[in-house]
Amino acid sequence: MDKLKVVVIGAGIGGLTSGIALSQAGYEVEIYDRVKEMRPVGAGISLWSNGVKVLNRLGLGEKISQIGGLMDRMQYRTMTGELLNDIDLMPLIYQVGQRPYPVARRDLQNMLLKDFPGKVHLDYKCIGVEEDETGVTAFFENGHQARGDLLVAADGVRSAVRSYVLGEDVEPQYRGYVNWNGLVPADAALSPKNNWVIYVGDCKRASMMPVGGDRFYFFFDVPLPQGTSAKPEDYKTELREHFRNWAQPVQTLIDRFDPYSVARLEIHDLGPIDRFVKGRVALLGDSAHTTCPDMGQGGCQAMEDSLVLTNYLISTNLGVEYALKRYEIERTERANAIVRKARKRAEQIHGKDPEITQKWYAQLAQEEPVEVTNAISKVIMAGPLH
C-alpha cells in the first residue's frame, strides 16, 4: 500500500506501539493525546511473552529486557503465608520461546516514547471524527483538525471515538473490586527478588512481582461496592483493616509503600463489542477491549492489535478499508475471548460466588505446576506470534 498518513488518538501503550509499528512500515504517523503531560495510570504491568514478542519484532527486545523484571518463579500462598503452589516458570519460558518482563508502566511508556520517531501532540482532546471517500478527519477541542488516510483510536476505556464506530455509547462496567498498586524497593523481607508471590484469602489478593530497577510492582485487591472513596493518607489504615492478620510480608509491604505514589482503581472492563472498525477508523487497545487485569493481558492485547493492524495494511493492495476489516475479524475473535476469560477469572478470584472462590483455593493447593503453566501458555500461543 502507498505511503499512508495515519492519525493516532491516544499516547498510551497501544497508541505508542501502533505508532512505532506503523512508522517502521513507512507510514507517516501523528499521535494526539488529551493529557497535558504523560502520566501513566497504574504503577506496573505484567507483560507476558506474547506482548514481549511484539516488542521483539519491533526491535525493542534488548530495551525491554533492560527495564523488565526477571521472574523465574510464581508462588501462591494463603493469607497467613502457607505455601499453596510453587511454580517454576522456566518450562513455560521454553514452551513459548520468550521470557515475560513485568515492567513499571512509566518505564515502558518512556521506552516507547523514545522509539516513536514522530511527534506526540499533548493537550489535544479529540471531540469527533468525520470520514469521506478519500480520508478521515479528527476534530479537537482546541480547534485543530488532523486529516489522514486512516485513524487509530487508542484512546482508552473512556474512548471519545468508540461511539462513532459502534453507533451507540457503550459504558465500562464495574467488576466488583478495588485495586491498589504501586512500586517498592525489592527486599527479601517481602519476597525473593526473582519471585512473583500472590497471597490469597477471603476473596482478596496481595501480590508482589519483580520489575526493573530492583523493585517490586505490588497490588492489593479487595471486593468493595462501587463508589467507596479513599484519600492517599487513608490508604495504609484502609489496607491494614482489609488485610488484618495476613502474613508478615503483607504487613511489611503496607508499612513500606508511599501512599502518595499508589494508584487506587475501581476495576472496570468493557464489552465484548462486535465491531472494532468503521470505514477508515479502527479501535485499538482499551477503547475496543478493556480487560480485567486478572490475566495480565491488557497491554499485551494492545500490542498484538498494533502488530496485526500494521501487517494487514502492508500486506494488501486492496485499500485501507479492506485491511481494517481483516484486522477487525482477527482481533474481535482474539481480544473478546480474553475479555470474557479475564472477567470469569476476576469473578472466580474476588468472590462473586464465594463457593467458586473457595473451590479455586482448594484447586491451587492440588494443582500441578505444569497445569498452571500450560494454561498460561495456551493464552500466549493463541496470539499472532507463536
Q: How far is CA 181 from CA 31, 223, 232, 337, in A?
A: 28, 15, 12, 26
The matching CATH number, chosen from 3.40.50.300, 3.40.50.1110, 3.20.20.210, 3.50.50.60, for 5-172+270-382 is 3.50.50.60
| 29 HSE (CA, 13 A, CB side) | 26
Q: How does the average pLDDT of the chain come out, rounded?
A: 96
**For residues 329 and 277, what is the distance between their CA atoms, to the nearest angstrom?**
10
Model confidence over 181-233: pLDDT tens digits? 999 999 999 999 999 999 999 999 999 999 999 999 999 999 999 999 889 99
Identify the pLDDT of residue 42.
67
- The structure's pTM equals 0.96
Identify the pLDDT of residue 38.
79
Identify the pLDDT of residue 299.
96
**For residues 175 and 287, what is the distance between their CA atoms, to the nearest angstrom?**
17
Pairing of strands 173-185, 83-88: unpaired
Q: What's the burial of 246, exposed, middle or buried (CB within 10 Å: 0-12/13-18/19+)?
A: buried
Average pLDDT value for residue range 265-283: 96
Average pLDDT value for residue range 133-160: 96
**Other CB atoms within 10 A of residue 225 CB:** 9
Asked if 174 and 267 count as a contact pair (C-beta separation under 8 A), the reply is yes
Q: What confidence category does residue 39 fall into, taking pLDDT thresholds of 50, 70 and 90?
A: confident
What percentage of the chain has pLDDT greater than the value 90?
A: 95
Q: What confidence category does residue 162 fall into, taking pLDDT thresholds of 50, 70 and 90?
A: very high
Identify the pLDDT of residue 40.
65
- The answer on pLDDT for 356 being more than 80 is yes
- The answer on pLDDT for 386 being more than 90 is no
Model confidence over 83-101: pLDDT tens digits? 999 999 999 999 999 999 9
Please report the sign of the dihedral spanned by the C-alpha atoms of residue 22, residue 23, residue 27, residue 30: positive
Identify the pLDDT of residue 41.
65
Torsion of CA 328, 333, 339, 343, to 10 degrees: 160
**Other CB atoms within 10 A of residue 122 CB:** 14
Model confidence over 99-129: pLDDT tens digits? 999 999 999 999 999 999 998 999 999 999 9
Pairing of strands 5-9, 150-153: parallel
- The answer on pLDDT for 292 being more than 90 is yes
Identify the pLDDT of residue 141.
96
Domain boundaries, the chain: 5-172+270-382
Residue with cell 476476576: 346
